[in-house]
Amino acid sequence: MPPICLSFDNGPEPEATPLVLEALARRGLSASFFVIGEKLRDPARRGLAERALAEGHRIGNHTLTHGAPLGLRPPAEAVEEIAAAEGLLGPLNRQRLFRPNGGGGALGPHLLRRAALAHLAAGGYTVVLWNAVPRDWDDPDGWPERALALCRAAAAPVLMVLHDLRADAMRHLDRVLGTLADAGAAFTPDFPEACLALREGRLLCDPETISRRDDAP
């Protein structure tokens, strides 16, 4: 089984994020949390992001509102979704990480506008995509088997997207991690190179695969 990198999107949430942090601490694992910027206006949610960082996890930008994918928005609005979220993240986003929202986990040019991609490159961001999405957000009891199947079938390092959003989904996390560990899986905090669109501002892929031109409808 190839190495597995864990990431969690769409938090922080008071009922779900502590379950995730406790499961990761129990297993001695570190992960990356891509947070929705506007949630950090709530002191309790910001406190959870600060806790995750203090416990050795990475915090990244997952847009301000997590509305429509940025490639489907006007260019200026797409840039503002990134910049406004970054303003709220401040020192939490130590490594300048960004993950676009895919609208259900799909990859493609709907992820970004070309102006947003240029903004990310100029800001020295690392843009983190994914290759395993077990859909825990809409199937809280069925996602564990999909996650296990994705890892067992993988021929290359796995970057899994889970969500610290629903407590009823994350209550299964420790069992999934244990099953994978028993099967010999190695967990890593390092993102697979194939899942990076930018590294510290340097483009690693064809921009046509992840962004729409600014004059596109």
Positions marked active-site = 9, 163
Q: How far apart are CA 133 and CA 7, in angstroms?
A: 10
**Sign of the CA dihedral 50, 13, 154, 107?**
negative
- What is the four-CA torsion angle of 59, 60, 66, 72, rounded to 10 degrees? -170
At 193, is the secondary structure helix, strand, or coil?
helix
Check if the beta carbon of residue 65 is closer than 8 Å to that of residue 101. no
* DSSP designation for 132: B
| Cα 57 to Cα 19, 21, 32, 53, distances in angstroms | 14, 9, 6, 5
